[in-house]
A = this chain, B = another copy of it.
């Protein structure tokens, strides 16, 4: 059976991930993501109303025109998890394909919301839920399987396409977490099994491949966060926390430790409400019944007023703004634009790291400066990454023993340390180790 892989997007950058695998006549598309930074550099761009081609020209969404070179029919579009760089282009591209979108329940729900917000295109693809561990036929000879993985968002999987020529493992994005706070540990046993069955190709996320050691478990971040929050138990002023709003496990820890130190947690900001609300509705997390979540400006302001009235010392607002985004809640609090007064000695907890890029670093710096001007004390970098480091990659390669490897989710500089590693497993650049770019086609079996 002919096996071909089109590396459409996310092979020269992080963002706008998209990969298509053809096995005989069947094609499966993995991820359709958005590179938000390519949008934000322009003033006043609203993606909701833009046409795909303009977004492709901007480098914001994958240039899927290469798909025309791929024979066969698209049988499924498979986003691996709900981050924007994996689902953000679905509303712009999926309608071109007569195929269902297959994903885990939480991801499907986020895709649904994405589609609802779209104003240019009507996206009518079927939305099919499949749980981690599930399997689905793709044409007559191939089968799609979801293997449970752990990432900085819940319900993440690595899809595996089983073909007569061996398995194609699409490895974006994951951390090897045996104690992930929320959800099941990574299913290494299944990966090892698949490795024994035979892996034709492994496509892997190289984000942290150049960092030594292993990415700590979410439970390490949780222990760290607990240490910080418990140390503030006696503080009788305001404490505010921020984190990635899609990071439900972290939000859960914040909520629990707030309770432990005698504060009522409240989630504030549109994306806080969206992700945590969705997770709760789908029963992925069990928040306290009275946990407030407010997204609209008015209800947020009303909540802040209530907090000020009832005493800041009784609350833990968990807000958006961990990267210092100019319009996020925390930045607005720093500018004094909300009814919440930050006073001398008040604490601000960043359970996040700055994404290392000068624009972010500048904005985060400004945000912290504004907060400090009002007297805030800063606790930052209480976080662990969602991506494998060097030794996680080593273990994965050891488990899968793939015949071919395609480094992904980075530019070439990011691939480099992964290539060094993969060569230690006998893979050879130009032969079985495919250093590729956006828009390329790799023929594995002729």
- A residues sitting closer than 8 Å to B (CB atoms) are 41, 43, 176, 178-179, 212-214, 216-217, 219-220, 223-224, 227-228, 230-231, 335, 345, 357-366, 369-370, 373, 377-382, 390-391, 394-395, 398, 411-413, 415-417, 419-420, 423, 428-430, 435-437, 440
Contact of A214 among B41, B212, B219, B228 (CB under 8 A): B228
Contact A379 B391 (CB under 8 A): yes
Q: How far is the CA of A214 from the CA of B381 in the complex (A)?
A: 11
Q: How far is the CA of A279 from the CA of B219 in the complex (A)?
A: 30
Interface of A, helix, strand, loop or mixed by DSSP: helix
Contact A230 B178 (CB under 8 A): yes
Contact of A358 among B362, B394, B420 (CB under 8 A): B362
- Chain B residues positioned under 8 Å from A391 (CB to CB): 377-379
Residue on B nearest A326 in the bound complex, by CB: B43
A213-B380, A378-B212, A391-B379 known; A227+B416 contact, CB < 8 A: no
Q: How far is the CA of A231 from the CA of B390 in the complex (A)?
A: 14
Contact B366 A41 (CB under 8 A): yes
- Chain B residues positioned under 8 Å from A394 (CB to CB): 345, 377
Q: How far is the CA of A231 from the CA of B365 in the complex (A)?
A: 36
Shortest A338–chain B CB gap in Å is 15
Q: How far is the CA of A376 from the CA of B423 in the complex (A)?
A: 15
Q: How far is the CA of A378 from the CA of B213 in the complex (A)?
A: 6
- Chain B residues positioned under 8 Å from A395 (CB to CB): 231
Residue on B nearest A370 in the bound complex, by CB: B41
